[in-house]
Chain A
């Protein structure tokens, strides 16, 4: 083993330079040049100010906006502290939260039917930018009432913002909450 120590030390240095510095820095340069917007985080600006990223969920609580899923990242949608609740399927803490949030969801949206499965569960990242189309439709009446718009026009806006499965079969249909709310604000 001792006779192999010299190549071990040298190989650590050489590989650190190649795979730990040259490779990521070259990719950084190439990505910045080729995919500048994506590499910087797909940031969304309004009047020259950054209002968020289209990939990162942000919190909405006002009735006139569509609401995202509950978040466990930091104190909610903390994009420098991602994570989930890690609550298990038999934990009474989860049961209590679900009961509370289900009542709130039904109350806010005057909903009576089954609740869409994403609406009161927390996401994995705590930064989920999307909600399901069913969740968005369930919120239409509330948003329309708060904005004095007709439910039909808000519903049509939601429908126009539904993003289908990638390549027609990958993942799930979804609605980006930030983009939908920007469209509501006419931005």
Chain B
């Protein structure tokens, strides 16, 4: 580990912290429907949207407030319909323009199209497909880029609805879903994406609709170079914590992430909105210390991950040392600099520090973009992304999903604290009662069940007779690496799907009907069976009275609460997944 590596990591988190307040208060202003500096330009478009989409307005001309069930209904209707459209676009891509490679339904099987549709509607962006040999530019834009925006907007909407549960009292409604996604898209995601896409394109990220380029290399061989409208998708892919790459190699591809500067920028975009949302939360509940307490908890957990991943990736493995590879970084100009460590599956320009940082950040958040293959990480270096996902991606987390996930843990934390002192738990002036705790536990259990049951099923299921679901043989034969690492690949796939992350231990051949369908189900369960209980909590909290602060109130803005919350996240995650992890990465570390 080098001082320069730590400097980059410090600069990264400083940038995220610096932007939290200005962006966070802007998001609060926008989502509360108040006037902001973009209103003169975008206000008319917002109202035009409501008219075009048939959104019901109340007497004052604002979108009508919705009860949580109606809000959830709108979310489900929108997700279901737009997923069907995405399925159809993929299967019918031959009929649409911007398809220079003439891809057709032969490139996208029904199970693959289902997997991709659920993947993008759930903000997962798991990639069973190899984009550059599967999807036309039209599908990448009208299908995937659109979902990059809207799944992020929907996540943000639900987080804000959840915050309203705390900030309102004695009210039966939690906002209007259509207003929330429209405002999130128009005022926040679109302007930031435009700026980011243009910056990325100035640095070398491609943006065109051309045919693939045929080059004749210096040694005289032919090289076919994939092209496409990359920068526009890259920007929202990072900003919306989506993570679905334009290319198979994702953000390690030089056309998606050409320089260390773009790499720092892309890593920063992942945490930008989730970091700011902690401030939005504090502002909306009229106590910004509450937001900073969440920010501190997240920073603590993030740092533990970076430290671990960086340490083990720099340390390398016995196998690499045995081959004679230098494991420590050298900066001596005479001998020539090199990064040392485990460089299998990593890019020269990023080296060890930037790859370890990216892997930690992309899985703390529900992003799932990669700039190096997690499958080739050292056993404990690769444990970090896997465990981050299993914690529920609440360390900054996805756009919106990080905040509502962390609020779910906060409810559990005050519940546990309440049990210890024998008082009815409160959070932000709301009594946390049976219904809230039940719903939070339901969401937790659904996630754990989806990860563990499906991974277990894939480890034992066998397809000796039929050839449709999977090539004949056990589903576990689709792994790329034998032994404990193979189990990690399967476990990672269902954790990533359920957690709506989308990164992979990419060696697993997941493009078979069995994996496409089961991972598709995991993605839907992980998204919607978490959203619905949380919206129920939001509705229940909004209807409650505010309890005044008393001497017996447990303060939730100090170091004690930060420690308690981080502890609950770690302990719940560890208790749930330690047995499975010990059979995968941990045993692999011990025997390597």
Contact = CB atoms under 8 A, between A and B. Distances in A.
Interface of A: 1-12, 14-16, 18-21, 23-28, 30-32, 34-35, 38-43, 49-53, 55-62, 65, 69, 73, 77-91, 94-95, 98-99, 101-102, 106, 114-138, 165-167, 169-174, 178, 181-182, 185
Q: Which of A7, A10, A51, A136 has the most CB of B within 10 A?
A: A7
Given A23-B190, A28-B207, A88-B376, A115 B198 contact: no
B259 interface: yes
B58 to A, nearest CB: 15
Given A1-B76, A170-B8, A40 B54 contact: no
A172 B263 CA distance: 12
Contact of B150 (A19, A137, A166): A19
Given A12-B78, A86-B480, A132-B339, A42 B141 contact: no
B77 A1 contact: yes
Q: Which of A5, A77, A170 has the most CB of B within 10 A?
A: A170
B53 A116 contact: no
Contacts of A65: 218-219
A168 B85 CA distance: 47
Contacts of B190: 18-19, 23
Nearest to B260: A171
A101 B214 CA distance: 30
A27 B197 CA distance: 7
A41 B54 contact: no
Given A80-B224, A172-B349, A21 B142 contact: yes
Contacts of A20: 141-143, 145-146
A172 B339 contact: yes
A171 B12 CA distance: 13
Nearest to A11: B53
Contact of B218 (A16, A28, A118, A182): A182
Contacts of A38: 201-206
B232 interface: yes
A28 B77 contact: no
B513 interface: no
A104 B182 CA distance: 59
B372 to A, nearest CB: 5
Contacts, number: 414
B254 A125 contact: yes
Contacts of B320: 98, 117, 121
B576 interface: no
Contact of B130 (A40, A81, A128): A81
B248 interface: yes
Q: Which of A5, A8, A83, A119 has the most CB of B within 10 A?
A: A8
B208 A28 contact: yes
Interface in B376-401: 376-379, 382
Given A82-B132, A115-B323, 6 more contacts: A20-B145, A40-B208, A58-B219, A65-B218, A123-B347, A125-B253
Given A19-B149, A56-B225, A90-B379, A27 B178 contact: no
Nearest to A170: B260
A41 B204 CA distance: 7
Contact of B206 (A30, A40, A88): A40
B49 A89 contact: no
Q: Which of B204, B341, B343 has the most CB of A within 10 A?
A: B343
Given A5-B77, A88-B376, A89-B485, A127 B254 contact: yes
B233 interface: yes
23 contacts: A4-B74, A10-B52, A20-B142, A24-B233, A27-B232, A40-B227, A43-B213, A50-B215, A51-B216, A73-B249, A84-B375, A84-B376, A88-B376, A90-B481, A95-B319, A117-B338, A117-B343, A134-B326, A134-B330, A135-B336, A170-B8, A172-B337, A172-B339
Contact of B260 (A6, A61, A172): A172
B543 to A, nearest CB: 21
A14 B49 contact: yes
A88 B376 CA distance: 5
A82 B145 CA distance: 20
A47 B372 CA distance: 36
A35 B202 contact: yes
Contacts of B150: 15, 19
A11 B481 contact: no
A4 B71 CA distance: 9
Given A10-B52, A27-B201, A49-B216, A114 B252 contact: no
A123 B564 CA distance: 41
A144 to B, nearest CB: 15
B255 to A, nearest CB: 6
A88 to B, nearest CB: 4
A165 B215 CA distance: 29
Interface in B512-548: none
B442 interface: no
A125 B348 CA distance: 11
A121 B325 contact: yes
A123 B342 CA distance: 11
A28 to B, nearest CB: 5
B218 A98 contact: no
B373 interface: yes
A69 B192 CA distance: 36
A89 B210 CA distance: 39
